[in-house]
Chains A and B, each alone.
Chain A
Amino acid sequence: MSKLETVGLTKSFSGLVAVKDVSFHMDEGEILGIIGPNGAGKTTFIHLVSGILMPTSGSITFKGRDITYAPAHVRSRIGIARTYQLIHPLENLKVIENVMVGAVFSKDKSLKAARKSAEAICAELELDGLNRDTTQLSILEIKKMEIARALANEPEVLFLDEVMAGLNSDETKQVIATVQRIARERKMAVGVVEHVMGVIRELTERVIVLEAGELIAEGPYETVSKDPRVVEAYLGGAA
């Protein structure tokens, strides 16, 4: 059954159409790759689905419930979490508190219970030194902390927006593999935006391709990567 679905989702910024008529769905427990050249609208699409931006037209449903215009905090409470391409640490909170935020506000946990589940999630992601300030973390650790925070929301649908930008592909694979394992355990659907195609090929079951805001291809990576429209989008029409 599809968890998250969009129909004709469109977002335009005074004339510039960043996302155009995108209809997609995500199923329980699936890992979906979201790819496309720079400026294709991948991040805007995630902003729309997570409520950071409101769409111009189209609709979004989550488990059959219309959430097209639901505010971001409501979406995270009902089960949609995400990370950001650019890091968003809460620098006046300790690492553990950063992770707890997700559990406290999305799942209404007590501070004690939130701390316990945050510790468990950090352990799974092999993130330690939880009483440090975020300024003491390496970039890999900050990324892990933000994934941990998203997981602490206990989402049913999770988006990782180029979560590993700036890291090498081994680190990226390792972290995404951990997320994949957690996703299987929790039957969580994960949407992965990634430029490293090796990661997409290895970890995702299905891929959607965006170009200039439009969904141009969909299917297993092997099929999609041979689609002439996709090749053209990446390499340019003249070739």
Chain B
Amino acid sequence: MKLKGSYIAVVAAAAIVIAFPAFLGAYPLNVARSVMTYMALAISWDMLLRSGQISFGIAGLFGLGSYASALAVLRGGMNPFASVLFAAAFAALVAFALGFAILRLRAMYFSITTLALMEIFRIVMQNLHDFSGGPEGVVLPKIIFDGYSPALYWLCLGGLFLTIGVSWYFEKSKMHLALTAIRNDETSARSNGVNIFKYLLIAFVATSALQGMMGAIQVQSYGFTTPDTAFDANFLMLPMAMALLGGIHSTIGPMAGAVLLGIASEWLKLKIPYGHLVVYGVIIILVILFMPQGLFGLARKAMRNRRKAGANNE
């Protein structure tokens, strides 16, 4: 049974990553958390991309989630764990409201608008001195789980698992048909009963909630944030590069891209501080030029060719 085999592989892989804290120290766990955060963002970016909409706003929702969570704890006295859920709900609500305006836009008009929104969120946070701490940002009284690194790791892993789960649901349910139909041919989708706006809104709200949640987990794990950290272009560029490298329109592609690029970026950051962004840019350009389907796309193509060659030899 092929299905059973892959099921066992997934459970085994999950068990191994859950057990990481047993044999990894604080620094590797820290790196792992960073990779997982980017991975979740890469997957969520890809989820909306499956409808053909290229969002440049993921860092905006991520930062918004960071601030929602930090301020809920700081100003509202909310439990840090509850604040993560609150941030996800808040990001979802913002996406829902904005969605009515911006989901009617397509292609670069949508992309540019989401990029502008990200900048607006950052400027708002930077200028609400009394409420958000202005450019200095916010410092939380304490880090969640008292900064115990295995717990922080598991929290982040939980966020990642949830993201993977939602993405998997998008792949296996009628969301897959809806989003692919919208991406391929909106006219055809419409005349076959697909309510385009509804499915775009579901995808936009769901992915924004996940991005907000990851932002909240990030801020609760570090205990502080500033407008420049929360809305860092890294949280946009790197996930995009990861998804493109691994292979878009799937869950597994962005995951593979995140592992490769996440580990490479840790190394690059040490070797060429601040220069690593250039490297991501180059990767995006090279991937788009030479393998637009990413690594998994290449692998699929190679497998098809081998099957074809095999069939020809028989």
User: Which A residues are within 8 Å of any B CB, using their own CB?
Assistant: 50-52, 71-73, 75-77, 81-82, 84, 88-93, 97, 100-102, 104-107, 111, 149-150, 152-153
Contacts of A72 in B (CB 8 A): 190-191
| A71→B189 CA distance, assembly (Å) | 12
Question: Which listed residue (A50, A71, A90, A152) contacts B185, Cβ 8 A?
Answer: A90
A104 and B191 contacting across the interface, CB-CB below 8 Å: no
| A89→B196 CA distance, assembly (Å) | 17
Contacts of A102 in B (CB 8 A): 192-193
A76 and B191 contacting across the interface, CB-CB below 8 Å: yes
B188 and A106 contacting across the interface, CB-CB below 8 Å: no
Is the CB of B181 closer than 8 A to any CB of chain A? yes
Question: Which listed residue (B174, B183, B185, B195) contacts A88, Cβ 8 A?
Answer: B185
| A71→B287 CA distance, assembly (Å) | 39
| A232→B29 CA distance, assembly (Å) | 82
Contacts of B178 in A (CB 8 A): 105
A105 and B187 contacting across the interface, CB-CB below 8 Å: no
Interface of chain A, main secondary structure: helix
Range for the number of chain B residues in contact with chain A: 20 to 34
A105 and B184 contacting across the interface, CB-CB below 8 Å: no
A50 and B249 contacting across the interface, CB-CB below 8 Å: no
| A88→B187 CA distance, assembly (Å) | 8
A90 and B188 contacting across the interface, CB-CB below 8 Å: yes
Interface 1/0 per residue, B144-167 and A, CB below 8 Å: 000000000000000000000000
B194 and A90 contacting across the interface, CB-CB below 8 Å: no
| A72→B188 CA distance, assembly (Å) | 10
Is the CB of B312 closer than 8 A to any CB of chain A? no
| A89→B185 CA distance, assembly (Å) | 8
CB distance from A109 to the nearest CB of B (A): 9
B249 and A101 contacting across the interface, CB-CB below 8 Å: no
B180 and A111 contacting across the interface, CB-CB below 8 Å: no
CB distance from B303 to the nearest CB of A (A): 14
Knowing A73-B196, A97-B177, say if A82 contacts B189 (CB, 8 Å): no
B184 and A149 contacting across the interface, CB-CB below 8 Å: no
Contacts of A105 in B (CB 8 A): 174, 177-178, 192-195
A106 and B184 contacting across the interface, CB-CB below 8 Å: no
| A152→B180 CA distance, assembly (Å) | 18
A149 and B192 contacting across the interface, CB-CB below 8 Å: yes
Is the CB of B173 closer than 8 A to any CB of chain A? yes
Greatest chain A CB density within 10 A among B183, B190, B195 is at: B190
Contacts of B187 in A (CB 8 A): 52, 84, 88
CB distance from A162 to the nearest CB of B (A): 16
Knowing A73-B194, A90-B180, A93-B181, say if A104 contacts B174 (CB, 8 Å): yes
| A101→B192 CA distance, assembly (Å) | 7
Knowing A92-B249, A93-B177, A93-B181, say if A101 contacts B191 (CB, 8 Å): no
CB distance from B282 to the nearest CB of A (A): 28
Knowing A90-B181, A92-B180, A93-B180, say if A77 contacts B191 (CB, 8 Å): no
A106 and B193 contacting across the interface, CB-CB below 8 Å: yes
| A105→B190 CA distance, assembly (Å) | 10
CB distance from A137 to the nearest CB of B (A): 15
Question: Which listed residue (A50, A107, A111) contacts B191, Cβ 8 A?
Answer: A50
B190 and A92 contacting across the interface, CB-CB below 8 Å: no
CB distance from A81 to the nearest CB of B (A): 7
Specify the chain B residue showing the minimal Cβ separation from A133: B304
Question: Which listed residue (B174, B188, B193) contacts A84, Cβ 8 A?
Answer: B188
B190 and A52 contacting across the interface, CB-CB below 8 Å: yes
| A87→B230 CA distance, assembly (Å) | 46
